[in-house]
Structure formats: structure tokens, C-alpha cells
Structure 1
Amino acid sequence: MQPKDLLQLSEQFGSPLYVYDADKIKSQYNRLTKAFSKVEKLRINYAMKALSNVAILQLLEGMGSGLDTVSIQEVQLGLHAGYSPERIFYTPNGVSLEEIEEVNALGVQINIDNLSILEQFGAKHPNVPVCIRINPHVMAGGNANISVGHIDSKFGISVHQLPHLVRIVENTKMNIVGIHMHTGSDILDIEVFLYAAEILFDAARHFKNLDFLDFGSGFKVPYKKDDIETDIEELGKKLSKRFNEFCTEYGKNLTLIFEPGKFLVSEAGQFLAKVNVIKQTTSTVFAGIDSGFNHLIRPMFYGSSHHIENISNPKGKERFYSVVGYICETDTFANNRRISELKEGDILSFKNAGAYCYSMASNYNSRYRPAEVLWMNGQGHLIRAHETFEDLIKNQIGLPQIATAQ
């Protein structure tokens, strides 16, 4: 997409606006499958929590992707988007046994990360195929909030609890078909990932009839020029070789599963917002936009950096601006960032806005959530309309009439 295309979309659909490039999503999917082409049985399960719009799910379903889900609502969205139950994995954390049983009734693959729930579920449903999520105790990820495989993480069953885990499986005679891990997001060091993979292999040796090993994801994408990213090609070469060796040792050709989210959709997304006001103080020039952390919370929540361009004046002289939102909080997107000279009414584009952006949006300050557009075959297709006041009050119930009469 060129700046002129984005400007045209902002005029056509209004701002703020999320725009996703279908070709970029497809190229990332193909890049990952090509990197692991030496593995005979490979499965990509898109982590839909990154971006759960039904049109995006359908785009990936058409490419052969499965789904990684973390809630019953995500499972239901996946089924609604056309995924068959056997292509949906359900990996919750901290949910009730009742929710897990409800999801199981839908026919999807259950992944359990808690000894208590494992024992309860196994005792009641010993014949149901179950995957077990282990915690490898490997610290990986670019931020404490997205590092989920370390020793203090709430996710997974500790590898040190394997003897207890095995006893539960033996006592309940439950059907374990897969082992899963996820160390965290924004992984830079491939050797750390490979080290964690060996822990997964060790855990798998305790189970004799597995069908798959799920390595999670967490691949880092570049957020700015010359930024570091996970070398998928090198990882594919090294892990494929080791995985194939393990399959030979195990005596069975297992399926290798990944569950990428950010890797597939982050770079495909751009967030467009209009400059409402330029405010000069004694030391800072603020660019206030028609958005806030109600639409894009990652810079405030994770400290993430999104490259910002003035697509209305891309070749203008650069000046320093602090880009801030219209929320009644300190919602700063960028401090003293070099951006082509801004004027009120200009359109800014925030890059890498495809993952964990719209999906984390809210109605804080009673603001509406923005529209979403899919750019495909040279055209913009509306895939979610801007919210309205009717959306805001749809589920609200006013004070009962009897109370207002008193």
C-alpha cells in the first residue's frame, strides 16, 4: 500500500481506521511454511487473539491455517468463520472445568495447563484426546508481560512436575496426544528456542502415543528500520533437522505445530489517525490525534514502539513531536519523535498495527472503537464498521422505572 492509497482509505472510511494488507499476511504465512518445508507434517495454527476479525480468520483458513484459541468465545468465532472443529486448538489459562467441558463438546482439540484440571478432566473424560502444556522454565520474550515460559509464570505445568503429571495420566488412563510449550513473544535468540525445544522433546519421551508437538511461537518482527527480528529461515533449518531426528528416535512421524499471531499479522496492519491539534508548550510540541489508548494501547501497556509517518506530508521537513491521544489520561504514543512537519488535519500512519491492537481496543471514555479495512487486490474492503452510539448503549439497562419514581 502506498501513502496515497492509505489517504484515500481514510477519506473513504473515516478515521481512526485500521487497515490490513492481505498480501503481507499471505507472504508471512508462506515464508513460515517454506522455512519448515523439510518437515513432512507441519501445521500452522494462527493465534487469533492477535487479530480476531472474522474476515482475517477466513483469509487464513483459505490458506490452510488452523486456529489457536484461548477462550470459548474465540472457539465460537473460529467455527463461525468456517473452521472445522478438528482444525481448532483450545489453550486456555485459569478457566473453569465447566468451560473446558463446554469447549470439548464442540469437538476441538483441548490443551490443558493445570494439574488440578488435568486430573478432574481425565477422571471424567479418559477417552478424549488431550494435549498438555508444559512450562519449560525458559525466560524468553521482549517484555515481562509477554514472557510466559519462566519459573514464575502462571502458564503451563512445570517440567519439574512431570512425575506427578505422568501419575495422573496413568491413574486416569487418559488419552494424551500432544505436548505443547510457549516461552514468550519477541524471541531473538534462536538458541534459546532450540534449548526449550529439547525440554519439550524430553517431556514427550514420557508419552508413548503422541500425534504432535506444539512449539508455540513468539517470533519477533521488526518495528523500525534495521530492527532485529527472529531469523525464521535459520530456525527452520536447525529445528527441522532436530525435529526429524526426534521423530526417528520416537518411532513415529509426528506433526510439528506452530501458533504464530504477531508474525502473521503485525506488519500487515497500519493504524490511521487524524491530527486534531498542534500544541506548543515551553519545551514540547504535542500532536494530539483523534485516538488514544482506547484504540492502540501497546505503546502505553508494553512500552512498544510503532513507527509513525505523516502520510499527508511524507517528504516534509522533519520536526520533533510528542504524539498524544484524546483520552483523559496520559496516553502518549511517542515522545519527541522525528516526523515530517505536521499541521492540523494531517493523517498519521502507525506501522506494525496488525497484532494486539484492535483486539485490545476498548470503549474507555465512552469513545467508539474504529473501523477495520482489508486491502486486497488493490482495493479496500470494509470488514468492521465504525461503532455508533447505539453500539455503545446496546447492552446497557437504565435505572428501573420504580426507582426513578421515588
Structure 2
Amino acid sequence: MIPSVLPGQPQLHYRDQALYLEDRRLSDLAREHGTPLYVYSQASMLQALAAYQRGFAGRRVQICYAMKANSSLAVLQLFAQNGCGFDIVSGGELQRVLAAGGDPAKVIFSGVGKSRAEMRQALEAGIGCFNVESEAELEVLSEVAQAMGLRAPISIRVNPNVDAKTHPYISTGLKGNKFGIAHERTLDTYRRAAQLPGLRIVGIDCHIGSQITEETPYLDAMDRLLDLVQAIEAAGIATIHHIDFGGGLGIDYNGDTPPAADALWSRLLAKLDARGYGDRLLMIEPGRSLVGNAGVCLTEVLYLKPGEQKNFCVVDAAMNDLPRPAMYQAYHAIVPLDAAAKAPEQVYDVVGPICESGDWLGKDRSLAVAAGDMLAVLSTGAYCSSMGSTYNTRARPAEVLVDGAQAHLIRAREGISDIFRCERLIPPKP
């Protein structure tokens, strides 16, 4: 059965029973570029960004796209051209930002395991801020910066022990998570940071998780973060120039109802004003909410395999191309590119060719399909291609960005020779 409303994807629609993204028929793109294929909507990304921009109208705010969600160069270029900075978690991501034309001064560097080489690389580039995640990292960063004759701009990422009520693998703000510095240790950590000669305190940071669909965790985290700002400044340790509230806002995968970005931030800003911090520079790190519902993954049905307990729809996309179901048991809607059903509807598990029982894209899905039909896996713009691999020596898919009726190839399909290009055979035995 074809859903009358496609989850979360305003640019995705059926026209004369063919599935379109913006003004491009997806079956045409599948024939032109092959499958599996990622296709993204530029309009969807910009609409999602505009919701944040509306929510922040008249405020001092820097939106830093959390590029781990989707790090394709053209996606980064699009956000850079529309005023975004970037939240990075590696030196490689910094190189991507620079290659896409991003401003290093609008880059914030998060992550629990920054190496000395990455610290030097970021300092040389002139990034805006390091989000420091441990007391040991403070000492190392100060040492690296001092050796370069610099002072590293820092904020401390606070772990506020707030339950984001999301999947445990993507929860980041509880005491049992590896991220940030415990709320009760934060004041002493700022005192130590103020003493270190290679550091310059500029802000405070908090990030509690991903795919958050309720506003209460954000409000609770904001209260805990503002309590710390008040305590740090009252103690004369430092002036907090910016407050970074992280990201994590969810999207609609399967009837999820996260608050709209502009509505959420109107409530958060009201709290900020009420507590007297409305004039501070704000930073946020949205990722999934900007790109997740902008993407689809196209795949071809290879075989239909009936069984005693399950019917399997075997497709050419797999867990290496689209890892979220295998990693998180995540739900993605799956719909046909051609809504004119030619086969009887049956319930299938949609699975890939990889030799793992965990290689599935959807379970218990009602589909009217035959071998050779094309399907679209929805809401795959975030944490899908960027988390992909070459497991089973499977080349990674091509990627296309749609802008109205135009379609731009933004990543060529990988070849098998690309996969083992850096490998070397050992010398033959004499």
C-alpha cells in the first residue's frame, strides 16, 4: 500500500504514479547512475536551515552544521554558502570543510580523542573554538598551543546528566556516556583552564544526544548550563562569550513528532531571556535535522525469496551502504519508485546481499514488488552514506544532489580498484 503522505520529506511526491524528488523523476536517475544511489534534495536542506534561521531572527547566533551527519563536499559547500559554520570531530573533517570553501573561523572542534597532530592542524587553520571533553585534553591542548606560540580558544563540553530519551547508542549527556566533563567537575575544570598559558576561555558547550523528539531535555540541559555560566562568572574565573547548546533535534522517520526548529528555539530563547543571557552569542550544532529528511537511497529488487516463516525481498543496497538499521535497529520507510503495482502485495523483510543476518533495511514491510523493480529507502540523508563502508569489497554508491529539475552528480560511484588502491601485495617468495 502506498502511503498518502511520505514521512518527513516535503520534496518527495508521486506524480502520475512515479516518485519524484523535487522535479526529478527518481527512476530516471536510477537508470542514469545505477543503484544503489543516494539522492538529496537541496530545497529540503535549505528549508530545514531556514526554520533555524527564522527561530534565531534578530539574535547573535552561529549555526555550525554537524558534518558527521553527511560530509559530502557539495553538501558542505551548500551550507557554507548559506552562512553556516561547521562542527567537526576529526582532522579529516577539517580538511573537508576547507576543501568545500568553509570558513575555519566558524569551525568548532568536538570529540573526546583529538590527537596532538589534529590540534596543531586546527590551530594552524585558525578554527573558532575547541570543545574540550576531558581535563587531560586541557593540559595537552595548552602544551601544543604554547609550543606554537598560540593560545587555543576553548569551551568546555559539559555532561549535564540529562536523559535525552533516545537510543542508548546516540545518547551523549548522561553520566555513563564518554562525552564531556561531569557537571559537578565543570567549575574546577574552568579554574584549571584559566591557569593554563596556552588556553583562552571563550565559551561553554553542551550536547545531550541525537534524534531527540521532545523539548523537555533541551530545557533541562539549558537550565543546568546557565547555572554553570552564572557560577563561573560569579567566581571571577572567566567571561563566557558564547553558549553552545549543541544539536540533536530529531526528524520524522516513522510518525515521530519532534518540535519544529523555530518553535523549539522560541521556547528556549524565552528561557534564555528570562535568565538574563539573551544577549550572548549562541552556537548550535544541528546535523540530522538539516539533512536527514533530504535524502533517499534508491535500490533495485534482485530476488523475491519466499520462506516458511519469512518472505525476503533481496535488494542491491546493503548494510555497508545504509548501516542505520543494522546498527540501531532503525526504521526507514520503503516505497516503490513506480506506484502502479504489478504484483500482489506481500509482507517482506527487505534485505541486502551481505553475508550477515544483520544485513536488513526493513522488516515486515507490505510491498507489491517484482524482481527488477526499484525501491526508495526514505529519510537517508543523515548517518547513512557518511557511515558507509566497503565491507564485502562492495563499492560505495554514487550521490546526486537535486535542485529543482537539475541533478548534479556530487560523488561518482566508487570502483573496486578504488577500494584496494592503497593495499600492497607482499614480495613473492624466491
Task: Tell me, yes or no, if the aligned pair for 1:294 and 1:361 is still in contact at 8 Å.
Answer: yes
Q: Offset at 1:15? A: 0.6
Task: Tell me, yes or no, if the aligned pair for 2:212 and 2:249 is still in contact at 8 Å.
Answer: yes
1:104 and 1:149, CA in 2 relative to 1: closer, same or farther beyond 3 A? same
Q: Offset at 1:98? A: 3.7
Amino acid of the structure 2 residue aligned with 1:94: G
> Equivalent residue for 2:27?
7
CA distance in 2, matches of 1:121, 1:277: 54
- How do 1:214-253 residues align onto structure 2 when only pairs under 5 Å count? 214-224=244-254, 226-246=255-275, 249=276, 253=279
2:361 alignment partner, one of 333, 352, 362: 333
Task: Tell me, yes or no, if the aligned pair for 1:141 and 1:218 is still in contact at 8 Å.
Answer: no
- How do 1:141-156 residues align onto structure 2 when only pairs under 5 Å count? 141-156=165-180
Output the aligned Cα RMSD.
Answer: 1.7
Q: Deviations over 1:321-347 (max 9, x none)?
A: 1101000111122222112x1100000
> Equivalent residue for 2:68?
49
Q: How many positions carry a matched residue from both structures? A: 397
> Equivalent residue for 1:305?
331
Q: Offset at 1:314? A: 5.0
2:226 alignment partner, one of 186, 196, 201: 201
SS across alignment from 2:125 = coil
Q: Offset at 1:255? A: 1.2
Residues 318-327 or 11-20, more deviating:
318-327
SS across alignment from 1:131 = strand
Q: Deviations over 1:84-142 (max 9, x none)?
A: 21011111212233422332221112221110111332355473321211111112142
Normalising by structure 2, report the TM-score: 0.88
Does the alignment pair 1:119 with 2:139? yes
CA distance in 1, matches of 2:419, 2:115: 29
Residues 110-119 or 368-377, more deviating:
110-119
> Equivalent residue for 2:90?
71
CA distance in 1, matches of 2:229, 2:372: 57
SS across alignment from 1:266 = helix
- How do 1:2-401 residues align onto structure 2 when only pairs under 5 Å count? 2=13, 3=19, 5-37=25-57, 40-108=59-127, 109-122=129-142, 125=146, 127-172=151-196, 174-205=199-230, 206-207=232-233, 208-224=238-254, 226-246=255-275, 249=276, 253-315=279-341, 318-330=345-357, 331-339=359-367, 341-400=368-427
Task: Tell me, yes or no, if the aligned pair for 2:302 and 2:316 is still in contact at 8 Å.
Answer: yes
1:356 and 1:236, CA in 2 relative to 1: closer, same or farther beyond 3 A? same
Residues 6-15 or 170-179, more deviating:
170-179
Q: Structure 2: where are the runs of 5+ without partners? A: 1-11, 14-18
Q: Deviations over 1:207-260 (max 9, x none)?
A: 442221110111110012x332234343222111122344xx35x831111111
SS across alignment from 1:243 = helix
Q: Offset at 1:315? A: 4.8
Task: Tell me, yes or no, if the aligned pair for 1:187 and 1:230 is still in contact at 8 Å.
Answer: no
Q: Deviations over 1:257-311 (max 9, x none)?
A: 1111100000000000000001111232211011210100101101110000011
Task: Tell me, yes or no, if the aligned pair for 2:51 and 2:260 is still in contact at 8 Å.
Answer: no
Residues 69-78 or 316-325, more deviating:
316-325
Amino acid of the structure 2 residue aligned with 1:147: S
SS across alignment from 1:257 = strand
CA distance in 1, matches of 2:177, 2:160: 10
Task: Tell me, yes or no, if the aligned pair for 2:336 and 2:376 is still in contact at 8 Å.
Answer: yes
Task: Tell me, yes or no, if the aligned pair for 1:147 and 1:185 is still in contact at 8 Å.
Answer: yes
Q: Deviations over 1:10-47 (max 9, x none)?
A: 01111110000000000000011112325x20111101
Task: Tell me, yes or no, if the aligned pair for 2:187 and 2:228 is still in contact at 8 Å.
Answer: no
Amino acid of the structure 2 residue aligned with 1:191: T
Task: Tell me, yes or no, if the aligned pair for 1:291 and 1:327 is still in contact at 8 Å.
Answer: no
Structure 1 runs of 4+ off > 4 angstroms? 314-317
Q: Structure 1: where are the runs of 5+ without partners? A: none
Task: Tell me, yes or no, if the aligned pair for 2:394 and 2:416 is still in contact at 8 Å.
Answer: no
CA distance in 1, matches of 2:181, 2:338: 51
Residues 152-161 or 200-209, more deviating:
200-209
SS across alignment from 1:329 = coil
